[in-house]
Structure 1
Amino acid sequence: MASSSAIQHGIPATLQELEPSSPLFKQGASLRVTGKLQTYNAETAVAIIADGGTSLKIHTQYLRGISFRIGSVYQFIGELLIQSDNDVILQARVGRNVDGIDLNLYYQSLQFLRKFETEFMNSRAT
């Protein structure tokens, strides 16, 4: 029997999708996000990544063996924490450097994946 507290996979999301009107914008949602590291504070273990004019705070205190370099591209999997003032933070449980990734191709593949999932679910419903 599956436990309701089992760790969920990280749903791929763009930073632009993390807005209140998005279905991904839920307290505790398990997400996978990618962006360029803008700042990192080792004292607070808070990183800020950005992509397409949107930024996101990442709590990195549970990550080990990862070195942060400003300007490098990182991917994080974790849970979304929405503060009362709509301050959004991802509590990362996994992080990795993905320098060299073609972000345009990555986001295009996300669009194809979502289209496939929608078509697959619609075909099963009939």
Structure 2
Amino acid sequence: MVLGATVMTTYVVELEPSSPFFKGGQSLRVTGRLESYSSESAIAVIVDGGVTLRVDTQHLRDINFRISSIYQFIGELKIQEGNQAILEARIGRNVDGMDLNLYHQSIQLRRKFEADLTKSKTT
């Protein structure tokens, strides 16, 4: 990770090859429901909007994974063979109390604000 790098908040469903977020090394924040976790490989699989994302959790400490709980991760996206994405998490937390509908609305509002701000700077 580069110090001062911008962390993009995105939805798991947006992590497809045609997405601007689908770049190796991109710092991302993603949130989803834990579908599975392997303690042997330290790989978690989260799901959001019917789409899954593998998360490498080997660098995380003091986090207990519970299937069906909601987790948020910040890390760098790695693109593997066959355009398979995996997030190398450096931060992870349980966010079971989070209202996901409100969270998704806040992402949309932030994106609109940032687009309006960028537009106003160019005019």
Task: Give the structure-2-normalised TM-score.
Answer: 0.96
List structure 1 runs of 4+ shifted beyond 3 angstroms. Answer: none
Residue aligning to 1:111: 108
Could you tell me which runs of 5 or more consecutive residues in structure 2 were left unpaired when the two chains were aligned.
none
Change (3 A) 1:94 1:104: same
The answer to whether 1:28 aligns with 2:9 is no
Aligned residue type for 2:19: S
Aligned length: 123
Give deviations 1:78-119, integer Å, cap 9, x for gaps.
000001211110000000000011111101110000000000
Q: Which runs of structure 2 are paired with 1:27-106 in the superposition (5 Å)?
A: 27-106=24-103
- CA deviation after TM superposition for structure 1 residue 7, in Å: 5.6
- CA deviation after TM superposition for structure 1 residue 8, in Å: 2.4
Task: Give the structure-1-normalised TM-score.
Answer: 0.94
d(CA) in 2 for partners of 1:84, 1:67? 30
